[in-house]
Amino acid sequence: MKKIKIIPMILSAVLLFASCSGEIKRAEVNDKIKPDTVLDIEMPSEKDIFGETRISFAAAGDNLIHEAVFTDAKNNAAVYASSTGKQSGYRFTEMYEGIAHIISGADLAYINHETPVAGEGFKILGYPDFNAPTEVGDDLSEVGFDIINIANNHMLDMKEVGLRNSIAYWNEKAAENDLTIIGGYTKDDYDNIRFIEKDGVKIGLLSYITMINDKHKNALSASSELLIPYANEADMTRQVGLAKEQGADIIIVSMHWGTENAFEPNSAQKRYANHLADLGVDVIIGTHSHTLQPVEWIEGQNGNKTLCAYSLGNCLSTMLYSYYMVGGILTFDIVQDDIGETKIENPILVPMMCHYSMTRDSLKLYTLENYTDELVSAHGAQLNGSFTMSTLRGYVTNTIDSEFLPEAFK
């Protein structure tokens, strides 16, 4: 059961509600308790009341720390230090304010962080060979992200040493901030399935990619202890099986795949998605194209249904064209009933917008529903081709079936 804090003026109602559940007996409220007193009481969980456990999940797409992004973060840190006295080399947190209510409001939240964090001895760099400041992990945690995927085509941008350092960095941040890191493996721990146990539900997390940038694809020596989690059906079959053997109630797979700039999945994406569905995977979270791609239910060979978002597009970036600026946050509920059967419900893709100014700074993320015509006209991507709010909404409604969209986009 969760402990909540509640003020005495509504304590009577809470106790009455709780008594109906059989968890808390009626009690009299002491009239002498001051109105602003805060009390700790035990409340019954949803499973106690309704016979089910419901876990909300949110997934965001590609987090690309371009040079303009970390330059803006450096400026933000100076402002933050002057107002709070707290020193930081880079400050990213405020960039996510417009979507933070979705991320922090979810029980679990995922992001594909598409930039190594190689640490000391490496320059902070943007495209084409990325390396992000070390402040980024704490800031993503502060926003509310719980699951960080680091398997993508840029994971070897800082070569083998950079990847080793990046894995070590994220493992350290995981311990400090209660994060789960997927996509960064050694050969010895590749089959060590990552799990999150939440409210009695065991969630298995897998991660695969289909490509590494060409100039870095041979950056790992044959003797390296590191491993790139390339997608292949044999590994998928084995690891999904391991997750099930170890008691996974739900299996979520991160797939970095597809064709950049494309709004539709290619044949390889379809093949892997169908294979994962046949294996009984529950959710596929797709990234890499930097554009939105469709969301659909795929029926597996055993009649099961797999929720597949082929690409969530970009989260944070300063790419140049408007279609790169519209991404999505996939939200859904993981629901376990009183006999232990678990399923995915209420999938919705919340359209979002990454904004930057005409001078490619002042980065802010917004839900597209809260984005305005005034912001559209001031967006720096207008310098590379004019667009309107209708253009932005079209990237969403022409790609995502209305079944998976909020009411404002139906």
Residues 264-275: tens digit of each pLDDT: 999 999 999 999
Identify which of 134, 137, 157 has the alpha carbon closest to the alpha carbon of residue 147.
137
Written as one letter, the residue type at 34 is: K
Identify which of 371, 377, 321 has the alpha carbon closest to the alpha carbon of residue 99.
371
Question: Measured between alpha carbons, how far is 371 from 366 in angstroms, rounded to an integer?
Answer: 6
Q: Which range (15-29, 73-87, 115-129, 230-244) has the least confidence?
A: 15-29
Q: With 0.75 as the threshold, say if the pTM is over it.
A: yes
Answer whether residue 358 shows pLDDT above 80: yes
Answer whether residue 84 shows pLDDT above 50: yes
Mean pLDDT of 149-167: 98
Percent of the chain at pLDDT exceeding 70: 88
Mean pLDDT of 114-139: 97
Give the model confidence (pLDDT) of 249-262 as tens digits.
999 999 999 999 99
Identify which of 285, 292, 264 has the alpha carbon closest to the alpha carbon of residue 409.
292
Q: Where are the domains of the chain?
A: 2-44, 50-409
Answer whether residue 329 shows pLDDT above 70: yes
Mean pLDDT of 191-214: 98
**Confidence band (pLDDT; 50, 70, 90) for 38?**
very low
pLDDT for residue 17: 38
- DSSP state for residue 66 in the 8-state scheme: -
C-alpha angle with apex 74: 215 to 93, nearest 5 degrees?
95
Mean pLDDT of 125-136: 98
Answer whether residue 50 shows pLDDT above 90: no
Q: Where are the alpha helices (DSSP H) in 184-315?
A: 233-245, 267-279
Residue 388 structure tokens = 């309107």
pLDDT for residue 128: 97
- May I ask the CATH class of domain 50-409? alpha beta
Mean pLDDT of 311-337: 98
Question: Measured between alpha carbons, how far is 166 from 170 in angstroms, rounded to an integer?
Answer: 6
Answer whether residue 37 shows pLDDT above 70: no
What integer best gives the mean pLDDT of the chain?
91
Answer whether residue 361 shows pLDDT above 70: yes
pLDDT for residue 18: 40
pLDDT for residue 51: 82
